[in-house]
Amino acid sequence: MPVLNKFRHDLVDELRKNPNKLPLDMQMFIPLDCRTQRSEKTLSNQNTNKSKKSDAEFAFSNSSYDWPTLGKTLNSINYDSQIKNIQNDLTSLKHEYKLEIEKINNKIQHHSLRTQKACLLMQTQINTQQEIIDSTSSIVNDLTLNMNTNVIKMISNFAQLLNDAAHAEQQKNKLNIWQNKLTNQQQYMFERQTAFNNHIQNLDKLWFKQSNSIGELLNSCLIINNNDQ
């Protein structure tokens, strides 16, 4: 290893002549075979403004656990103050966010309550309309259609009795004409009654759809209020 030993000696000699080439705040340990005198143990840059540590501070004995003191490379910054300011800003933002959410929830609840009242009012109106439809349907069927049908049937039966009791051909012909007219009128009343019943059924279907829609809307409002609570 003569080449390596020569390189070590040359390097130490060069740094001994030019110690300013060493980095600041750094000490270089000199091997024993490269020392010119026994007291020479380290080399350091003489341009540093910091005091040199004694050799005892860097002797890594079993009784010492101190590390060499290094210069500060960063500016002194009060991180605690910055972190505290950030935490305060975050707390303020959270508080503002909470207040805004409460405002939004209050508005939603207010509109939901108004919608509930409107739904209940509409439901009452729809139920009232259904009651009116049912009562009107019953009156029309009983007092108009059914009564007229029964009257026409009674007159037709009475005309048939007169026709059976009549002996003159001319009288029978007149009664037959009246019976045909009564039969046509009876058929017409039957058709009107069928059309009226179909119309009532359509109104019932419409009422059912409206009632379901209002019920679904009312349930949605109730769910929103329960979630807000």
98: left (phi over 0), alpha (psi -120 to 50) or beta: alpha
Q: In which band, very low, low, confident or very high, does the pLDDT at 95 lie, cut at 50, 70 and 90?
A: very high
Q: Taking the mean position of all CA atoms in its chain, how far away is CA 216? A: 20
Give yes or no for residue 147 having a pLDDT over 60: yes
Separation CA 229–CA 105 (nearest Å): 10
Question: What is the rounded CA–CA span in Å between residue 187 and residue 157?
Answer: 15
Q: Residue 86: CB partners within 8 Å, gap ≥ 6? A: none
194 SS3 class: helix
Sorted by where each begins, the domain ranges of the chain are 2-58, 99-228
pLDDT greater at residue 55 or residue 20: 20
pLDDT value of residue 96: 93
26 Cβ contact partners less than 8 Å away, ≥ 6 residues apart: 44, 45
* Mean confidence (pLDDT) of the chain: 76
Task: Report the pLDDT value the prediction gives residue 51, as an integer from 0 to 100.
Answer: 45
Q: What is the pTM of this model?
A: 0.40
Which amino acid makes up residue 95?
H
The mean-pLDDT minimum among 82-91, 97-106, 182-191 falls in: 182-191
pLDDT digit string, tens, across residues 96-116: 999 999 999 888 888 878 888
User: CB within 8 A of 46, min separation 6: which ones?
Assistant: 19, 20
- Residue pair 159/175 in contact (Cβ under 8 Å)? The answer is yes
pLDDT value at residue 56: 44
3-class SS shares of the chain: helix, strand, coil, % to 5: 75, 5, 20
Tell me what pLDDT residue 99 has: 93
Say yes or no to pLDDT of 148 above 90.
no
Contact by Cβ (8 Å): 182, 152: yes
Q: For residue 143, what are the contacts with CB-CB under 8 A and spacing of at least 6?
A: none
Tell me what pLDDT residue 74 has: 47
User: Whole-angstrom Cα distance, residue 134 to residue 203?
Assistant: 10
| Whole-number pLDDT of residue 69 | 53
